[in-house]
Amino acid sequence: MNVTGVVVNYNAKDYLLACVESLLAEGAEAVVVVDNGSADGSEEALAERFPEAKWLPTGSNIGYGAASNLGVALAGTDYVLVCNADVVLGPGALGALASYLGRHPETAVVGPQIVTAGGQLYPSARRFPGLAESFGHGIVGQFWPANPFSRRYTMAEWDHTSAREVDWVSGSCFLARRDAWEQVGGFDPTYFMYLEDVDLCWRLRHNGWAVAYEPAARVTHVQGVSTDRRPYRMLLAHHVSMWRFAWRTTRPRWVLALVLPGLVLRFGLTAGRRWLLGQRAS
């Protein structure tokens, strides 16, 4: 199959092996593992189990987007599947995604249906958030998860069982057309973690490309394998990325004066809830 799998790894050895196994089983022509400074024996385990996979060490944790860009640069195929190390592709997933791009030459990126390790649907296809959705999902959603702002943002009115064009899909796993990726420069490496996928899809769509969701492809994503090791650092990175995306896309500019205090409030609420949950657990 004319697909290279690019897997970004950070201390996720056992999950990485399962991910690479699923990519090769699905017929990926090549697999590139970009490692962000793991110290858990991932390199040795991969070399022993899957010597055909290419190991590309970055030397340190340079972030998801920057690491993905390095891996895609080594791909010699027309299509590139970018994914986290804690993703496992289901039977036929890679073929379904490649088939969608083959049938839709206007589409740059197509994402699969993503389910959690427990089998719950993850809303991986979403709308670009406006100011109302950003406030409602980010602030109101802390206390009322099923609020109408979050439901609109996550497209909760749709059952996610049919293929369709969407605003953006999760960067945890998607198939990209390499020429479209190169046209916009791939992920913006200034996003350390989070929203690099939203930003990529936003730039692709502004360059005339479509983004799509294909539920005939199904993958399992454990989530949080790497990020949960440093939750507060990742929380800060998430909010910095939100500000970066808002700065790039918000017009008129005066609206940014409302965005910044909202992000500060959201960070405080989210960090406080996480701390309280940690105290109760201990």
Under 8 Å between Cβ of 245 and 237: no
Of the listed ranges 94-98, 147-151, 168-172, 185-189, the least confidently predicted one is 147-151
pLDDT > 90? residue 228: no
pLDDT-based confidence at residue 89 (cuts at 50, 70, 90): very high
pLDDT tens across 186-196, in order?
Answer: 999 999 989 99
Phi, psi angle pair for 174, to nearest 5°: -160, 160
Per-residue pLDDT for 225 more than 70?
no
Q: What whole-number distance in Å separates Cα of residue 130 and Cα of residue 65?
A: 23
What pLDDT does 279 receive? 72
Which is more confident, 145 or 212? Answer: 212
* Percent of the chain scoring above 90 in pLDDT: 76
- This prediction has a pTM of 0.93
Q: How far is it, in rounded angstroms, from Cα 196 to Cα 192? A: 8
DSSP-assigned letters across all residues of 60-114? S---HHHHHHHHHHT--SSEEEEEETTEEEPTTHHHHHHHHHHH-TTEEEEEEEE
Using the predicted structure, report yes or no on whether residue 1 has a pLDDT greater than 90.
Answer: no
pLDDT computed for residue 81 by the predictor: 98
Give me the domains of the chain, ranges plus CATH numbers.
3-225 (3.90.550.10)
Q: Is the pLDDT of residue 274 over 90?
A: no
- Among the residue ranges 93-107, 193-207, 234-248, the one predicted with the least confidence is 234-248
Q: What is the pLDDT of residues 28-69, one digit of tens each?
A: 999 999 999 999 999 999 999 999 999 999 999 999 999 999
pLDDT band at 282 (very low <50, low <70, confident <90, very high): low
Please give the average per-residue pLDDT across 141-169, as a whole number.
Answer: 93
Model pLDDT for residues 159-168, shown as the tens digit of each residue: 999 999 999 9
Q: Report residue 227's pLDDT band, with 50, 70 and 90 as the boundaries.
A: low
Q: For the residues 210-228, what does the mean pLDDT come to? A: 88
CB–CB of 243/260 below 8 Å? yes
pLDDT of residue 269: 86
Among 163, 138, 136, which residue's Cα sits nearest to residue 264?
138
